[in-house]
Amino acid sequence: MENNVRGIHHITAITGEPQPNIDFYVSVLGLRFVKKTVNFDVPDTYHLYYGDDVGRPGTALTFFSWPNLPKGKRGSGQVSAIAFSVLEDSLDYWRQRLSQHGVETTEPSKRFDELVLAFDDPDGLPLELVAHASAEQGTYWSKGPVPAQYAIHGFHSVTLSAARFASTERLLTEVMGFQKVGSEGKRSRYRAGDDGSGHVVDVLDQPEVPRGSESIGSVHHVAFRTANDNEQLAWRQKLIERGANVTPVMDRCYFHSIYFREPSGVLFEIATDQPGFTIDESIEEMGTHLKLPPWLESERDLIEHGLPPVHIPEF
């Protein structure tokens, strides 16, 4: 077993109506619509996937579409921001592009010698674009509406709001193999894995912040990468030995998953890199069909009838 997770595998958040979500992430941010499926545990609702050309680990942002939920409340025990990587000198383009689409942004600010542009998606989910030299190591979708020199190159990082900072830090460093690489005020930065997308976790030390509520506009869970099933089982045993309440392995078709909560309350997942999103669609046709796991195929007619129709923009 590797001594550290390989970085972020995917991040899953909660949206309301699916079409505005699709329009924003495909038509505004320029991500590829990778997979249209359902929540395997709540199969009358969509599970939507976005990413680079094939949804590689480190690029995949996914959403549960639960329109009947209220808006979430920001607070501790949550992901406080999802950050994407972009090339240096691209933030002026993004400020203009987002403004043209009615999205308000902050003034770019410096964090750990990188420039950060912050904004919210249509549901109020906090997002950031981080311009940095190593962004070019990440992969991107080249056939969307955003020119290649400005395209999103996967995740840069995820920021956690921690009420139990010391315990969260111990989990990241002593169990999951992250290395602390810096601090600025109440923000500490940790890194795991190789170069590329999604190797950074920031943690805010915020014991005074009331606990947030998980709903529309908030992150449901953060998944971290492991290579294969055997390593995942070893991670599960290691977490159990450290006192974590870990689920059994769950088959998500495109990866296998285990889940547990870190000490401040954020739901973590460890997911396998394989088999990936090309297991049931060709690269050319990814995202064009409603894909169901084998155990739900017998209910396809009922499921399709109950889901709202959606349109995937083409460019």
Q: Determine the topology of domain 8-306 in CATH.
A: 2,3-Dihydroxybiphenyl 1,2-Dioxygenase; domain 1 (3.10.180)
Distance (Å, whole) CA 101 – CA 96: 9
Close Cβ partners of 263 (under 8 Å, ≥ 6 residues apart): 162, 164, 167, 168, 170, 171
Continuous segment of H or E residues that includes residue 232: helix 229-241
Give the per-residue pLDDT at 196: 74
Q: What is the pLDDT of residue 193?
A: 81
Check residue 140 and give its pLDDT: 96
Distance, in Å, from the CA atom of 215 to the CA atom of 13, rounded to the nearest integer, reads 9
Residue 111 neighbours by CB under 8 Å, 6+ apart: 130, 184, 187
CA-nearest of 160, 180, 182, 191 to 112 is 182
pLDDT in tens, the chain (315 residues): 778 999 999 999 999 999 999 999 999 999 999 999 999 999 999 999 999 999 999 999 999 999 999 999 999 999 999 999 999 999 999 999 999 999 999 999 999 999 999 999 999 999 999 999 888 889 999 999 999 999 999 999 999 999 999 999 999 999 999 999 999 999 999 999 876 799 999 999 999 999 999 999 999 999 999 999 999 999 999 999 999 999 999 999 999 999 999 999 999 999 999 999 999 999 999 999 999 999 999 999 999 999 999 999 998
- Token pair belonging to 276: 């990936």
Q: What is the per-residue pLDDT for 291? A: 98
Sign, CA torsion 269/274/280/284: positive
Q: Burial letters for 31-43: b for 16+ Cβ neighbours within 10 Å, e otherwise?
A: bbbbbbbbeeeeb
Q: What is the pLDDT of residue 136?
A: 87
Specify the DSSP class assigned to residue 46. Answer: E
Q: What is the DSSP letter of 177?
A: -
Q: For residue 7, what pLDDT is reported?
A: 96
Every domain of the chain and the residues it spans: 8-306
Cα 64 from Cα 42, distance rounded (Å): 9
The predicted pLDDT at position 41 comes to: 94
